Amino acid sequence: MKQTNLSVFIPHIGCPHRCSFCDQKSISGAAKAPAADEVWELLTQQAEHLNDIGAKAEIAFFGGSFTAIPRGYMTELLEAAARGVRELGAYNGIRCSTRPDCISAEITDILREYGVTAVELGAQSMSDEVLAANERGHTSEDVRRASELIKQSGIRLGLQMMTGLYKDSAEAVMYTAREFIRLAPETVRIYPTVILKGTRLGELYERGEYRSFGFEETVELCAKLLRMFGRNDIAVIRMGLHASAEVERDMLGGVYHPAFRELCESRIMLEDITARLEGLPKGEYTVLTDKRNISRLVGQRRGNIAVLEKAGYKIKVGEQAGAYLEVVPKTEI
């Protein structure tokens, strides 16, 4: 059965900080805070569709710091969601995103009481220098403390990280990934920084005081992260911002691509096929892979094929169900 999220956007009404990368005014103006009865109406409307397609969804409160909104409002929303799980048959959990410094034992008790199944922490970095430079208002120790409270409560833990923030470095990003692995979340989201108009990062960028990571550097770095988390059985459930006309309109710099994850997966396949071909004579080969991998192997605009040809390997791609990378010399075809 297909599993998905039904997202309920909560504006930043409870967020105690304006971080360097956040266009809070634009985000807050994009949607009004939904009332509990509006959430219930949405859940009932979507339940029929989910049942028709044979899918289950977790009700996901995203967009702001959910546990920092006024307590009464938070519990009203949770009650509507919990009722949806109890009565509508299409929902099998509740998840929310929040800040690491907005988690306490009291909060996790409330979340558990209403049946919350997963909490995602917007950690962004485990470098205290990077966190301070970007005015996050919390420390790496807050991330560790909140992560342990969530796990001890029996709620699934998700962590979110960003790359290319002000004062960031590839070393700081890799440190963040290693610290995440030590915390053993079930899921991770990876967001390359997008520099937006009206943010502090935007001001620093326009003054020439800040440059994020380049596109190729970011793809290479995030491919490493994807491989690292995969080797540690941590699911990467999102890479890059969702496709958005607003982001494309307001973007000043940074890294944004509507198919960013596929670019990273393609880079991994290029590295793996290069390793398979290493030591083999230059020449023509067929590489067999499962149908779902073909576009990743070929690369955007056949970029991977071009790289391999430049290295002396003329590659023809073939389909073989269940295969990852099977290299067949031309003489064996």
Q: What is the side-by-side order of every strand in the sheet holding 91-98?
A: 2-9, 55-62, 91-98, 116-124, 156-163, 187-192, 235-239
Residues 158 and 120: beta-carbon distance below 8 Å: yes
In which region does residue 200 sit, left (phi positive, over 0), alpha (psi from -120 to 50) or beta (all else)?
alpha
Q: How many CB atoms lie within 10 A of CB 222?
A: 27
Q: How many CB atoms lie within 10 A of CB 37?
A: 10
**pLDDT for the residue numbered 22:** 79
**pLDDT for the residue numbered 275:** 96
**pLDDT for the residue numbered 63:** 81
**pLDDT for the residue numbered 33:** 85
Residues of the chain with CATH 3.20.20.70: 2-258
Instruction: Give the whole-angstrom CA distance, residue 172 versus residue 148.
Output: 22
**pLDDT for the residue numbered 330:** 76
**pLDDT for the residue numbered 100:** 97
Instruction: Give the whole-angstrom CA distance, residue 301 versus residue 295.
Output: 10
333 residues of the chain, pLDDT tens digit each: 789 999 999 887 666 666 888 775 444 444 678 999 999 999 999 999 999 999 999 999 998 799 999 999 999 999 999 999 999 999 999 999 999 999 999 999 999 999 999 999 999 999 999 999 999 999 999 999 999 999 999 999 999 999 999 999 999 999 999 999 999 999 999 999 999 999 999 999 999 999 999 999 999 999 999 999 999 999 999 999 988 888 889 999 999 999 999 999 999 999 999 999 998 999 999 999 999 999 999 999 999 999 999 999 999 999 999 999 999 987 654
**pLDDT for the residue numbered 26:** 46
Instruction: Give the whole-angstrom CA distance, residue 280 versus residue 311.
Output: 12
Terminal Cα-to-Cα distance of the chain (whole angstroms): 39
**CATH number 3.40.50.2000 given to 2-258:** no
**pLDDT for the residue numbered 31:** 60
